[in-house]
Structure 1
Amino acid sequence: MGDTRETGRRGEAQARHYLEQRGYAVLGQNWHSRFGELDLIARSAAGMVVFVEVKYRASQWAGGGLAAVTAAKLRKMRLAAALWLRENPAEGERDVRFDVIDVGPDGVRHHVEGVW
């Protein structure tokens, strides 16, 4: 079993590549605030700011990465996103969405758009 941080970094790199291949521009990665970390912040091809929680799970047992995103985690994401938007006012004029990307050993398994 490897280092969980390194595994997380690899999962985030896979998710980033996945988004970029679909026309997203990554605006930030691993942005920290007092409410927690935002894994990826991107602008969609349509111009929407997307805050992405990346979850890597070796298997889909017990729901995989999607099941790991709780209501409490989504609340923290919203609070952190509000701070990020305050620090990046030009982006704050855009529509916003919260997504989850589930990554496994073979790459991105699911991309759920608009989890909140």
Structure 2
Amino acid sequence: MSKAAHTTRETGQQAEDSAITWLERQGLVLLQRNFRTPGRGGGEIDLIMRSADGTLVFVEVRHRANAVHGGAAASITHGKRRRIILAARHYLMQLRREPVCRFDAMVCDGPLPEQGGQWQWLQAAFDAS
């Protein structure tokens, strides 16, 4: 594995750790992290959480060092949303009954909050339609 790939993975894990801490302070409970569909070409959900009202929240965490190429929010492309929705449907098939769900995004451009930056919580950032 190259040093750059290792650093990118570590940075992503740090961003997810930071987002979990932030969301838990808002009352959400972590159910699962890095849920992946089986096989190639599937999807991944960074965080699956439950809100205080029981809503199942699928969270995409995006951190960018700067907004030069459109920033963290712009990096959630149509294809990325499609793969997240695919993974969410796969996750929901495992449940006995489907709860109310939504797709949120946690985005940060610049340093993470622990280094002086700020999360932006985009609730219902997109839907499954």
Identical pairs, percent: 38
Max Rg structure = 2
Q: What residue is the counterpart of 1:31 in the other structure?
A: 35
* 1:45 has 2:55 as partner: no
Q: Aligned to 1:115, what secondary structure does the other structure show?
A: strand
- CA distance in 2: counterparts of 1:40 and 1:28, whole angstroms: 6
- Matched with 1:19 is 23
Displacement of 1:109 in angstroms is 2.6
Runs of 4+ in structure 1 over 4 Å off: none
Count of matched residue positions in the alignment of Structure 1 and Structure 2: 114
SS in 1 for 2:119: strand
1:64-85 superposed Cα distances (whole Å, 9 cap, x missing partner): 2101001111111111101101
Give 2:19's aligned amino acid. Answer: A
What is the SS of the residue equivalent to 2:62?
strand
The amino acid that maps onto 1:79 is: L
The TM-score with structure 2 as length reference comes to: 0.81
User: 1:6 matched to which residue of 2?
Assistant: 10
Give the corresponding residue for 2:79. Answer: 72
Q: Indicate yes or no: 2:95 matched with 1:88.
A: yes
Higher RCO, 1 vs 2 (CA within 8 Å, ≥6 residues apart)? 1
Q: Which amino acid aligns with 1:10?
A: Q
| TM-score in terms of structure 1 length | 0.89
**Which residue of structure 2 aligns with residue 99 of structure 1?**
104
Measure how far apart 1:4 and its partner are. Answer: 0.1
Q: Distance in 2 between matches of 1:82 and 1:36?
A: 10
Q: Report the AA paired with residue 52 of structure 2.
A: A
* Unaligned ranges ≥5, structure 2: none
Give the match for residue 110 of structure 1. 120
